[in-house]
Amino acid sequence: MKKYFYSHIVETSSISLTLSEIDMTNEERAHLSKLAESHLHHAILNTVLSELSEDDKKIFLTHLSEDDHDKIWALLKEKISDIEGKIKNAGEMLKKELHKDIEDSKKE
C-alpha cells in the first residue's frame, strides 16, 4: 500500500488478511485490495474536503499533489478540529463495511 498522509491513523492490513481467506487468484486478490484502498482513500478525502473552505481545499489539494505530508498536516490541524479523529472514524466505518461485504461474499 502506498503511504498516504493518513497512513499512520488508518491501517488496512486487516482487509488484506480477510481477502486472503477467500479462494481467488493472486491477481483477483490484488485487484480487490487496490479497490478497497482506493475506496478508503476517497472516503478520507471526502471527509477532509467537506470540512475545508473553498480556498483551503485548493491549498490542501496542492499539498496533496506534491505529496507534502508535513504541509498537509499543518493545514489540517490549523483548519479542522480533531481531524485525526474524523479521519480515523471515516476509515473505521468504511473498513467495517468492507469486512461485512467480504464476509457476506464468503457465504455465497
Q: For 87-108, what is each residue's pLDDT tens digit?
A: 999 999 999 999 999 888 877 6
Q: Are 80 and 86 in contact (CB under 8 A)?
A: yes
Q: Rounded to a whole number, what is the distance in angstroms from the first to the last CA of the chain?
A: 28
What integer pLDDT is reported at residue 2 of this predicted model? 74
What integer pLDDT is reported at residue 14 of this predicted model? 87
Q: For 14-71, what is each residue's pLDDT tens digit?
A: 888 888 888 889 999 999 999 999 999 999 999 999 999 999 999 999 999 999 999 9
What integer pLDDT is reported at residue 100 of this predicted model? 92
What integer pLDDT is reported at residue 53 of this predicted model? 98
Q: Which residue in 11, 37, 40, 32 sits closest to 102, CA to CA?
A: 32
Please state, in angstroms and rounded to a whole number, the distance separating the CA atoms of residues 103 and 101. 5
Residue whose C-alpha cell is 496533496 = 64
Degrees to nearest 5, angle at CA 14 with 84 and 60: 30
What integer pLDDT is reported at residue 50 of this predicted model? 98
Please state, in angstroms and rounded to a whole number, the distance separating the CA atoms of residues 26 and 90. 28
What integer pLDDT is reported at residue 1 of this predicted model? 58
In angstroms, what is the C-alpha Rg of the chain? 16
